[in-house]
């Protein structure tokens, strides 16, 4: 089955390089667009995406999606409470200072050899350092995490772009997930005084089963790395493409960096598609969504809707009202948003201290994926 139509071809090189022109064409349609290859509606405007994400009774997570992130209320509430408290306990000024030092060391080593790849030499090991400090273990093997990141992203793509591949990519993702699970089990058995211990103790107090507790730990650890590398790579590339971006960031000062982070997450979010299933016939944007039909809320499109955001195609680091969907929204909003902001602040501090003249020296290379956006390589020099 060809996973494309005249308006939407998520596998095309043009879409992967820049999906936003496609989103503009979709928003110009009269309401949600029926995408026959997936028997799903494409929802592209901010108002319609918000309606889908807000109404967890009419639009639920698809039954084929599993994991903590796919749970809907009320089942998700104890897990979200546990994750929120664990992340809050883990974050501190010392945590952020440790990340700044780790980032500075990475940049000093990278720039010593001349031009370097910002993804390979900074973003990826920086996010591994965040995992290390969050879990209170030595920096883990990046190969294991990268293997699962690739498998997970392809599995997510198979949900949207090619149903015929789902079984094979799901099997690869399961094998990679098992390797990560073994690693996390070793960490847990070691009694490290990080977020793992908090989640284990808190899970028991909330009556969460050992299996579900393990899934919660896994979700937190992988999200820190997987979402972190994609978000930070996208954000830094957008910043470097903006004339005087680093100088503007310095002028804002730390007090303005959380706002700048929100804008970078709005402009080019790591997660582009949020899948739901309609539970009962529902009116949306002038269309009738039938029970059982799929709905794909295009978060990347909503973030560029001019009905919601002034100058949506511009990076405005001082944007004040910014209710973006860069980390989800509503009942499924990413609980790691404060951690993401902390990681961006630490990265900004390290970059401004160690590489104030950082600049692109070539065109960044995208990962060949559709449902999320991340870079394979970002060539830079100081």
Domain positions in the chain: 13-381
Question: What's the pLDDT at 33?
Answer: 96
Question: What would the two tokens of residue 246 be?
Answer: 């680093």
**Contact residues for 207 (Cβ-Cβ < 8 A; gap 6+):** 78
Q: Under CATH, to which class is 13-381 assigned?
A: mainly alpha
Question: What would the two tokens of residue 162 be?
Answer: 């090619």
pLDDT, one tens digit per residue, over 283-337 is 999 999 999 999 999 999 999 999 999 999 999 999 999 999 998 887 667 777 8
Question: What's the pLDDT at 318?
Answer: 97
For the entire predicted model, the pTM comes to: 0.90
Helix (H) or strand (E) holding 77: helix 77-90
Residue 333 and residue 274 in contact, taking contact as beta carbons nearer than 8 Å: no
DSSP 157-222: HHHHT-GGGHHHHHHHHHHHHHHHHHHHHHHHHTT-TTHHHHHHHHHHHTT--HHHHHHHHHHHHH
Is 69 exposed, middle or buried, given 0-12, 13-18 or 19+ CB atoms closer than 10 A? middle
Question: What's the pLDDT at 376?
Answer: 95
Question: What would the two tokens of residue 365 be?
Answer: 């290379």
Residue 32 and residue 44 in contact, taking contact as beta carbons nearer than 8 Å: yes
Question: What's the pLDDT at 362?
Answer: 96
Q: What residues of the chain score a pLDDT lower than 70?
A: 1-4, 64-71, 156-164, 190-193, 203-208, 211-214, 331-332
**Contact residues for 110 (Cβ-Cβ < 8 A; gap 6+):** 116, 121, 122
């Amino acid at each position: 089955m060809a996973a494309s139509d005249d308006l939407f071809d998520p596998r095309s090189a043009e879409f992967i390089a820049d999906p936003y022109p496609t989103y503009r064409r979709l928003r110009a349609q009269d309401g949600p667009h029926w995408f026959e290859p997936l028997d799903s509606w494409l929802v592209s405007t901010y108002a319609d995406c918000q309606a889908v994400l807000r109404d967890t009774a009419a639009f639920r997570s698809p039954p084929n999606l599993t994991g903590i992130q796919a749970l809907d209320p009320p089942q998700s509430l104890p897990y979200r409470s546990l994750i929120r408290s664990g992340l809050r306990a883990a974050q501190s000024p010392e945590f952020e200072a440790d990340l700044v030092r780790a980032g500075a060391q990475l940049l000093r080593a990278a720039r010593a050899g001349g031009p370097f790849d910002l993804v390979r030499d900074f973003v990826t090991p920086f996010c591994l350092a965040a995992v290390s400090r969050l879990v209170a273990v030595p920096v883990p093997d990046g190969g294991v995490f990268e293997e699962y990141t690739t498998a997970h992203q392809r599995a997510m793509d198979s949900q949207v772009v090619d149903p015929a591949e789902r079984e094979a990519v799901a099997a690869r993702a399961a094998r990679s997930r098992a390797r990560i699970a073994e690693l996390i089990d070793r960490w847990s058995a070691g009694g490290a005084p990080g977020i793992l211990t908090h989640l284990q103790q808190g899970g028991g107090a909330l009556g969460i089963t050992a299996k579900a507790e393990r899934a919660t730990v896994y979700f937190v650890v992988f999200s820190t790395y997987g979402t972190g590398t994609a978000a930070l790579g996208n954000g830094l590339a957008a910043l470097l493409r903006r004339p005087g971006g680093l100088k503007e960031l310095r002028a804002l000062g730390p007090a303005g960096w959380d706002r700048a982070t929100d804008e970078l997450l709005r402009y080019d979010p790591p997660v582009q598609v949020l899948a739901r299933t309609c539970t009962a016939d529902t009116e949306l944007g002038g269309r009738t969504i039938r029970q059982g039909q799929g709905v794909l809320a295009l978060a990347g499109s909503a973030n560029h809707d001019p009905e919601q955001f002034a100058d949506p195609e511009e990076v405005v680091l001082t944007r004040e009202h910014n209710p973006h969907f860069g980390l989800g929204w509503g009942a499924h909003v990413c609980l790691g948003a404060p951690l993401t902001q902390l990681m961006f602040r630490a990265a900004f501090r390290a970059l401004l201290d160690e590489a104030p003249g950082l600049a692109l020296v070539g065109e960044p290379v995208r990962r060949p994926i559709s449902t999320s956006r991340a870079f394979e390589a970002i060539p830079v020099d100081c």
